[in-house]
Amino acid sequence: HDFGYRPTEENKVLQMPPAISVAVLPNAPQARNMAIKAHQRGHEVLIHLPMAPLSKQPLEKDTLTPDMNSAEIERIIREAVNNVPYAVGLNNHMGSKMTSSLFGMQKVMQALNQYSFYFLDSMTIGNSQSIPAAQGTHVKVLKRRVFLDDSQDIHAIRQQFKRAVKLAQRDGYAIAIGHPHPNTVRVLQQMLPTLPADITLVRPGQLLNEPLHNGNSGNKQ
């Protein structure tokens, strides 16, 4: 959830179970405020860092690009860490151009290695280089499996939620991400209380110490 711009919807998310995590855009006007509130309510906080997409569009301030040098990337991450207190991980906002660059992502992972952060890859492109880029660092990488709201149609969001449940049943876990859109919030409010008995809601950070492999891993989660 890219937080910091929509207090009404975001406050509804903060009332959800604390295993629902919150990704905060570091330059958003409410970034610090939302991070503190989320943390106080027990939610895991991530930095939602803009990274350059392949598509041509106006980029947000301090968007990471593959041609930036290490010092510039370190500065942007350091400022983001200062703007988003209590963060434990970093998650990319857009980023198909950046995440598919091994050289670019190596600089990101080297910078992240100075913090005890994990990287949650939004997988905006199939050939993301986050895992090879993290080699030789202590940074652990998690990958998004389901986008809840590529379409903001409420039925489509429900289908995506059900898909995340099925993948978790099959593989032992599934990470789903979405935005604080009204319909996404509504679907979560409706469907989280109806999760099947064999599904447990966990924070992304709780997956870091699990042996994550595909195939049925029993009833671990």
pLDDT in tens, 163-196: 999 999 999 999 999 999 999 999 999 999 999 9
- 98/3: higher pLDDT: 98
Across the range 4-24, mean pLDDT stands at: 94
- Tell me the residue type at 143: K
State whether residue 70 is helix, strand or coil. helix
Whole-number average pLDDT of the chain: 93
**Residue 83 neighbours by CB under 8 Å, 6+ apart:** 26, 27, 31, 32
Q: How confident is the model at residue 162 (pLDDT cuts 50, 70, 90)?
A: very high
- HSE-up of residue 196 (Cα within 13 Å, Cβ side): 13
**Residue 45 neighbours by CB under 8 Å, 6+ apart:** 21, 22, 23, 24, 35, 38, 39, 84, 85, 86, 87, 88
**Phi, psi at residue 22, to the nearest 5°?**
-125, 125
- Tell me the pLDDT tens digit for each residue of 99-148: 999 999 999 999 999 999 999 999 999 999 999 999 999 999 999 999 99
Across the range 60-74, mean pLDDT stands at: 97
pLDDT computed for residue 5 by the predictor: 81
pLDDT computed for residue 6 by the predictor: 87
Q: How confident is the model at residue 212 (pLDDT cuts 50, 70, 90)?
A: low
| CB environment 41-59: b (16+ within 10 A), e (fewer) | eebbbbbbbbbbbeeeeee
The number of beta carbons lying within 10 Å of the beta carbon of residue 201 is: 14
Kindly tell me if the per-residue pLDDT of 215 is higher than 90. no
CA distance 64 to 17: 32
pLDDT computed for residue 1 by the predictor: 63
Across the range 79-97, mean pLDDT stands at: 98
Is the CB of residue 177 less than 8 Å from the CB of residue 1? Answer: yes
Kindly tell me if the per-residue pLDDT of 155 is higher than 90. yes
Is the CB of residue 36 less than 8 Å from the CB of residue 86? Answer: yes
Tokens 């406050």, located at residue: 11
pLDDT computed for residue 220 by the predictor: 35
- The pairing of strands 176-177 and 2-3 is unpaired
β-bridge mates for residue 187, sequence order = none
β-bridge mates for residue 87, sequence order = 45
pLDDT computed for residue 217 by the predictor: 36
Kindly tell me if the per-residue pLDDT of 29 is higher than 50. yes
Across the range 190-214, mean pLDDT stands at: 87
Give the pTM: 0.93
